[in-house]
Amino acid sequence: MFDTHVNLHGDAFADDLEDVLQRARAAGVRRFLAICDRFDNFEAVHAIAAANADIWCSVGVHPHHSKDFPDITVDDLVAAAERPDVVAIGETGLDFHYGYSSEDAQIRSLQKHIEASRITGLPLILHTREADDMMGDVLEAEYNIGAFQPLLHCYTGGARLAQRGLALGAYVSVSGILSFKSASEVRDVIADVPMERIILETDCPYLAPMPMRGRRNEPAFLVHVAEALAKLKGINVEDVKQITEANARKLFAKVDA
């Protein structure tokens, strides 16, 4: 399995990161993508990837933090992405739920990340919350300027954005949310996403899947996300693992370069 979205550099794993990784490897997780959410955290994220042969990383600024990095440039992102362990741009996106950063700041940051994705050819990891229509509009407008590879990560949005993204060649990643009893709307949306466009993630240390809900999430729990997807799609869990890993390796092709 390939855990395509883990947050390993924060306080949650400061004391037992090696134990967390050992449990994940024992559970069958063979590849990890460590996510950068602030540009000033990039060196710490990259250090984890550089120290582990089965971990890669991204470079980017989460929309919550876009106000903190107004001067980040496309060149900054592209230069960081030249390192061999960096296989994606982001996470970036739009989150209008909390309002930590203004809509204008988020959109400007997103557009810079899109351009960096175009230049590098690396996939663009997109976070969207309460911004489906705006996200769809931005992606379509930018795609008309020049192609890039979107990934709708930890997807909890509506059917319309999912289909707009798929029309642009996007992949969709699913997390432990898929297993939550309250997430019937998410399951309805993912049911209509083709298996060849789906990948798995934990987004740890949050969103632990059933039956681990209430605990700190970690990559070893990725198997439960696979089980939830297998149940939804009515296919064997081993097939889910193989298909989603193949999808992830196709999407993050630099992993095998």
How many domains does the structure of the chain reveal? 1
**Omega before 211 within 30 of 0, i.e. cis:** yes
pLDDT recorded at residue 256: 94
- Bridge partners, 31 (sequence order): 2
pLDDT in tens, 149-205: 999 999 999 999 999 999 999 999 999 999 999 999 999 999 999 999 999 999 999
In this prediction the pTM is 0.96
pLDDT in tens, 37-75: 999 999 999 999 999 999 999 999 999 999 999 999 999
Q: Which residues constitute the domain of residue 27?
A: 2-256
pLDDT recorded at residue 9: 87
Average pLDDT, the chain: 97
Phi and psi (nearest 5°) for 197? -115, 10
Residue 3 confidence (pLDDT) above 90:
yes
Domain with 242 in it: what CATH number? 3.20.20.140
**Element (H or E) spanning 208, and its range?**
none
The number of residues making up the chain comes to 257
pLDDT recorded at residue 31: 98
Query: Stretch 4-20: mean pLDDT, rounded?
Result: 91
Contact criterion met (CB below 8 Å) for 127 and 255: no
Residue 10 confidence (pLDDT) above 90:
no
